[in-house]
Amino acid sequence: MTAEILIQSLVFGIFVGALYGLAAAGLSLVFGVMKMLNVAHGELLMLGGYATFYLFSLCDLDPFLSLVIAGPILFLIGILLFKGLFSFLARLDEENKIKNSLLVGFGISLVLHNLAILLFTADERSVTPTYAGAGFELFAIQFPYIRVGGLLLSILLMYSMHLFLNKTYFGKAIRATTENWQAATLMGINIEKTYLISFALGTALAGIAGTIVSVGYAIHPAMGMEWTIKALIVIVLAGLGNIGGAFIAGVFLGAIESVSALFVGAYMEVVGLVIFLMVLELRPQGLFGR
Amino acid sequence: MAELPTGRKQLLIFCAAGAVLFLFPILIKRDDYINLMILIFLFTILAQSWNILAGYAGQVSLGHAAFFGIGAVATRVLWYTGLPYVMALFAGGIIAGCFSLAIGIPALRLRGIYFAIGTLGLAEIFRITIGNILPTVTPFPVEALVTYTLVTRYYLCLVLALITVTIVFIISNSKLGLGMVAVREDVDTAEASGVNTFRVKVMALIISSFLAGLAGGAYAYYQVSFYYDMPFSPIWTFDAMLIAFVGGVGTITGPIIGSLFYAIIREAFALTMGQMHVLVFGVLFVLVVLLLPGGLVEVVAKGRRFFSGFKAKSI
């Protein structure tokens, strides 16, 4: 095995990992603020992917541009889901909130999965723009444009999330609610609104991740569960509620899976899971937790 | 929490229901109904076993499929190597129990949501590993296929379901059961009151995974062919959880009512709505979770209180 193959897999692992990270960031945001686990996150990601697919195949819209539409669509779906379902759980105590959100999320994932089969058929789809096969080469390492685009876009999104959470009033309200919602209420923060915005932002992030997944990877109605499990693992790796950490942990998981595939083949996901369990045992606060 | 069925009346109901169920395949000779009953029994065992760990001891496991899968694969393999089926079945249950011991000691150190996601990760490790070691379909051997009858499966699953319900009944009325509830309500207080919380959790895990292994073993006898990694699919965990929650978590009757509801509604929807059925079921499920947080058991209890209120004028 040459060094090139090793580095090449590392690079591709980072491309995939950025998507794990982006998917996990949305889930982590929702969990951090509301202490709810939305296990339909993977299905929301799938909806984003289909939005991009149809915008591309019906309206000829460039997949990377389509997230300007896919993101807001998922934001709206997030608002509807929160108003219609999750807001009822917000008043429960913490333990019941987690359990019931798991159940409601599972119900939603059943609904969305089957809705997708009915509306979009069970075929695997992928968006292939004209530049899909193109790329550049650097030190004998391949860099396809779509993957590099996806990575840059993910970094850009995470950076804007960072700015949003640290510089704007809403962002600060979200962080305050994450820390301690009771104190935040006493400081005059509108908790209901903060919940709504962060839930919708979480689904929008899932949708945007779906957009990038649909370019270069495949989307199909049954993909949700896989992505939810990946996102769950990543947010635990990072430490629950740690949004920036989730992105880095995602990249880390992607890189490990991809490189270990060279050595253990089909067991690559097992390697990722074993590392996840070790982190859980030895550092339950996560890799980046305090 | 609904009251635990105690006393002679409950025992009578249990025996009467058992007797009716034993006569069922003699009275009703329709394969589709017998098949439905088998599903209900399987779901009851699985949901009841999840209920011991999550409902009584409060350790919400998302990795229950691992024990179901270990039971299914171990039973199938042992049975095919020539062991009599019943021995293979119990060996499968015991192997699942042993695995849970090996896994449980580290996993039970985790609390709450970490335990849930950790067990999900463990189950995925099993699923992927088994899928790689045994990537083939497991068919029935010809001699077993020739003698295949649903009625045998019916009685097997019925007996296992009755055993499971009895075990849960005994546990819920024992010191161990009280310990489990104490751990569920508040681990630290339980520990401070002298409950060996770790031992209680380990016991709950072993019993629960043994029963899940038995359910898997019964599935291996019922299902003609399946991919070896199929019983490890997270779907089994979610089914068990869904049934226990819809019925009423932490009660004996909950998972039974839940399985009845789940299997019958799902089959009825599948017959009448075709492709739409899972969708409608999902909507219904979300509504049950939101509107009936105590499960169907609570509705029954409320109804009973409502009617007894008429008679005794007191609630």
Cβ distance B113 to A37 less than 8 Å, yes or no, reads yes
* CATH code of the domain in which A235 resides: 1.10.3470
Taking the model in full, what pTM does it have?
0.83
Facing residue for A236 by CB, picked from B117, B128, B293? B117
Facing residue for A117 by CB, picked from B113, B275, B286? B275
Number of domains in chain A: 1
Select the residue from B187, B245, B279 to test the A interface by mutation, using most A Cβ atoms within 10 A. Answer: B279
- Please check whether residue B114 touches A, CB under 8 A: yes
Cβ distance A267 to B293 less than 8 Å, yes or no, reads no
The pLDDT assigned to B44 comes to: 93
Q: State the first-to-last Cα distance of chain A, in angstroms, to the nearest integer.
A: 39
- Please check whether residue A93 touches B, CB under 8 A: no
The pLDDT assigned to B315 comes to: 43
- How far is A146 from A132, CA to CA, in rounded Å? 6
Helix (H, G, I), strand (E, B) or coil at A141: strand
- Please check whether residue B106 touches A, CB under 8 A: yes
Look at residue A131 and tell me if it is in a domain.
no
B238 contacts in A (CB within 8 Å)?
A: 106
A284 contacts in B (CB within 8 Å)?
A: 110, 114
| The pair of three-digit structure tokens given for residue A93, joined into one six-digit string | 């105590």
Cβ distance B124 to A88 less than 8 Å, yes or no, reads no
Facing residue for A273 by CB, picked from B124, B279, B293? B124
- Please check whether residue B273 touches A, CB under 8 A: no
| CB environment B64-78: b (16+ within 10 A), e (fewer) | bbbbbbbbbbbbbbb
- How far is B160 from A231, CA to CA, in rounded Å? 37
- How far is B237 from B232, CA to CA, in rounded Å? 9
Look at residue A290 and tell me if it is in a domain.
no
The pLDDT assigned to A1 comes to: 61
- Within A49-186, strands assigned E span 135-138, 141-144
Taking the mean position of all CA atoms in its chain, how far away is CA A128? 22
Q: What is the pLDDT of residues A212-237, one digit of tens each?
A: 888 878 888 888 888 888 888 888 88
Cβ distance B132 to A267 less than 8 Å, yes or no, reads yes
- Please check whether residue B141 touches A, CB under 8 A: no
Residue A108 distance to chain B (closest CA, Å): 7
The pLDDT assigned to B311 comes to: 56
Sign of CA dihedral A48, A50, A53, A56: negative
Burial of B290 (0-12, 13-18, 19+ CB in 10 A): middle
Look at residue A132 and tell me if it is in a domain.
no
Residues of chain B under the 50 pLDDT cut: 1-4, 313-315
Look at residue A289 and tell me if it is in a domain.
no
Residue A22 distance to chain B (closest CA, Å): 19
Do A169 and A162 meet the contact criterion of CB atoms below 8 Å apart?
Answer: no
Residue B96 distance to chain A (closest CA, Å): 20
Cβ distance B242 to A108 less than 8 Å, yes or no, reads no
Look at residue A133 and tell me if it is in a domain.
no
- Please check whether residue A164 touches B, CB under 8 A: no
The pLDDT assigned to B310 comes to: 58
The pLDDT assigned to A97 comes to: 79
- How far is B219 from B228, CA to CA, in rounded Å? 12
Cβ distance A104 to B286 less than 8 Å, yes or no, reads yes
- How far is B299 from B256, CA to CA, in rounded Å? 14
Angle in degrees, 0-180, between the axes of helices A243-264 and A268-282, rounded to the nearest 10: 140
Look at residue A59 and tell me if it is in a domain.
yes
Look at residue A137 and tell me if it is in a domain.
no
- How far is B302 from B315, CA to CA, in rounded Å? 10
Domain that holds residue A192: 3-125+142-282
Burial of B12 (0-12, 13-18, 19+ CB in 10 A): exposed
Residue B251 distance to chain A (closest CA, Å): 17
Look at residue A90 and tell me if it is in a domain.
yes
pLDDT in tens, chain A (290 residues): 677 788 888 888 888 888 899 989 989 888 888 888 888 899 999 998 898 888 888 887 788 888 888 889 999 999 998 888 888 887 777 777 777 788 888 888 888 888 888 888 778 888 777 777 777 777 777 778 778 888 888 888 888 888 888 888 888 888 888 877 778 788 877 888 888 888 998 999 999 988 888 887 888 888 888 888 888 888 888 877 778 888 888 998 888 888 888 787 778 778 878 888 888 877 766 677 65
CA distances from B250 to A144, B2, B256 (A): 53, 9, 12
